[in-house]
């Protein structure tokens, strides 16, 4: 059989076997990361100082954008 099939063909077949599940392992990693991120967000939201900082930052960004939109529409 080795007379017909070269070593290159055998190595290529082995490489294809290991690559079959690469996509699923990436999806599995993404699911794990998403759960970890969700846990971190919930934990940081439970902390009162972190919650105040997050709400304050979002408020400042919203006021800034509102000012820019109001200025471009010549409301003030």
> Rounded to two decimals, what is the model's pTM?
0.52
Nearest-angstrom CA–CA distance, 12 and 60: 57
State in Å, rounded, how far the first CA of the chain is from the last one. Answer: 84
Buried b vs exposed e over 2-15: b needs ≥16 C-beta within 10 Å? eeeeeeeeeeeeee
Average predicted confidence (pLDDT) for the chain: 79
Of 14 and 54, which is predicted with more confidence?
54
Task: Name the band, by pLDDT with cuts 50, 70 and 90, for residue 29.
Answer: confident
Task: Check residue 18 and report its DSSP letter.
Answer: H
Band of residue 70 on the pLDDT scale cut at 50, 70, 90: very high
């Amino acid at each position: 059989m080795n007379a017909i099939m070269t070593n290159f063909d055998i190595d290529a077949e082995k490489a294809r076997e290991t690559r079959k599940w690469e996509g699923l392992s990436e999806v599995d990693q993404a699911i794990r990361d998403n759960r970890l991120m969700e846990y971190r967000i919930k934990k940081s939201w439970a902390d009162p100082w972190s919650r105040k900082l997050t709400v304050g930052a979002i408020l400042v960004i919203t006021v800034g954008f509102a000012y820019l939109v109001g200025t471009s529409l010549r409301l003030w």
